[in-house]
Amino acid sequence: MEINNRTVRLLERPFGFPKKNIWSFNEENFDLDLKKNELLVKNEYISIDPAMRGWLNKGKSYISPVSIGDVMRAGTIGVVVRSKNNFFKVGDYVSGWGGVQEYNINDGKNFNIIDDKKINIKSYLSVLGMTGLTAYFGILRVGEIKKNDTVVVSAAAGAVGSVVGQIAKIKGCKVIGIAGGSKKCDYVKNILKFDDCINYKSNNFFTDLKKSCKEGVDVYFDNVGGTILNQIMMFISKGARIVICGAISQYNQKPTGPNNYLSLLVNRATMKGMVVFDYVDDYELAIKEMRKWILDEKLTTSEDIYEGIENFHEIFLKLFSGEKIGKLILKV
């Protein structure tokens, strides 16, 4: 049987903002000849993540870069259409690293069956996927939040930020979000139920931040880096924890560090980086707890879905323009 596979491959490494010509969009035919233990998966949903920008860069990171010519790396949810693996049967839904393509053949090692009748399958790419797990371990294990802490989170309407703030609310904290635009801030306050949300694109950002943080910030969960990180450092409390989860404002440029860092010294505060993959042994535990919060209606899931592998580049850019709410997903 011959399969026609649509793929997105990396042609060259970008400098600065990625342009469309760094990718090739292909129609590839291959003969389907599965070996023992292999399965053919048809991808249905592809996770679009800021980390993809980092994977395009050469050099040392927490994971190797995507090689030139390779299919672009991505988390996926798909359905098994052929199987020579005793563990997976045709019709099973699986999550794994299926890449930006229509089909993938794998040996099942990094794929998990999703068998959940109560929760929308797409949540396994958002709240119950990599971004939700990042929020869970970042805010609980690195942020070490306690009841009544004041928690500030940037990119608050995004995949990680929206879950960070909701978990902090569940744990009894006061939560202040930061997001781009009044529509997103309304969403953060009214739907996600944060105590406040500040629009960093407004001219009043600094004064609004100062007002909202007047009692001091115990935990700042940083998704954006740059100016926002620098300004928040002016409002941290004694013993504050700053969780360095990401720095999307810096991904397309040479990063600059915060010059208010002496606030860490004055306040005996810490700033610590985290990578979700370090918590893999506890993923199951976190999924179990967050799944219960979803079913108890304490945790809202939100996905923004755009269709078409051929639109991958334009969809990817929405991460940087902010033209989306919640988890960004490509539907194949």
Binding site for ligand NAP (CB under 6 A): 49-51, 130-131, 134, 155, 157-161, 179-180, 184, 223-224, 245-249, 274-276, 319-320, 322, 324, 328
Run of H or E residues at 199? strand 196-199
Least distance in angstroms from the C-beta of 45 to ligand NAP: 15
Alpha-carbon distance 42 to 176, whole Å?
40
Alpha-carbon distance 167 to 293, whole Å?
9
Least distance in angstroms from the C-beta of 261 to ligand NAP: 19
Query: Residue 139 or 328: which CB sits closer to ligand NAP?
Result: 328
Least distance in angstroms from the C-beta of 27 to ligand NAP: 29
DSSP H helices, the chain, are 51-55, 130-137, 159-170, 182-190, 205-212, 226-232, 262-266, 283-295, 312-321
Alpha-carbon distance 148 to 270, whole Å?
19
For 17, 53, 54, 64, 197, the CA distances from 253, given in Å and listed in that order, are 8, 11, 11, 20, 27
Least distance in angstroms from the C-beta of 126 to ligand NAP: 9
- Helix, strand or coil for residue 6? strand
Query: Residue 218 or 222: which CB sits closer to ligand NAP?
Result: 222
Fill in the amino acid letter for 249.
S
Query: Residue 39 or 328: which CB sits closer to ligand NAP?
Result: 328
Q: Which residues contact 160 (CB under 8 A, 6 or more apart)?
A: 131, 132, 134, 135, 138, 223, 245, 246
Least distance in angstroms from the C-beta of 177 to ligand NAP: 9
Query: Residue 8 or 315: which CB sits closer to ligand NAP?
Result: 315
Alpha-carbon distance 277 to 2, whole Å?
36
Least distance in angstroms from the C-beta of 32 to ligand NAP: 34
Q: What share of the chain is helix, strand, coil (3-state, %, to 5)?
A: 30, 30, 40
Query: Residue 78 or 180: which CB sits closer to ligand NAP?
Result: 180
Query: Residue 83 or 301: which CB sits closer to ligand NAP?
Result: 301
Instruction: Report residue 227 as tokens.
Output: 């100016």
Least distance in angstroms from the C-beta of 212 to ligand NAP: 16
Query: Residue 155 or 332: which CB sits closer to ligand NAP?
Result: 155
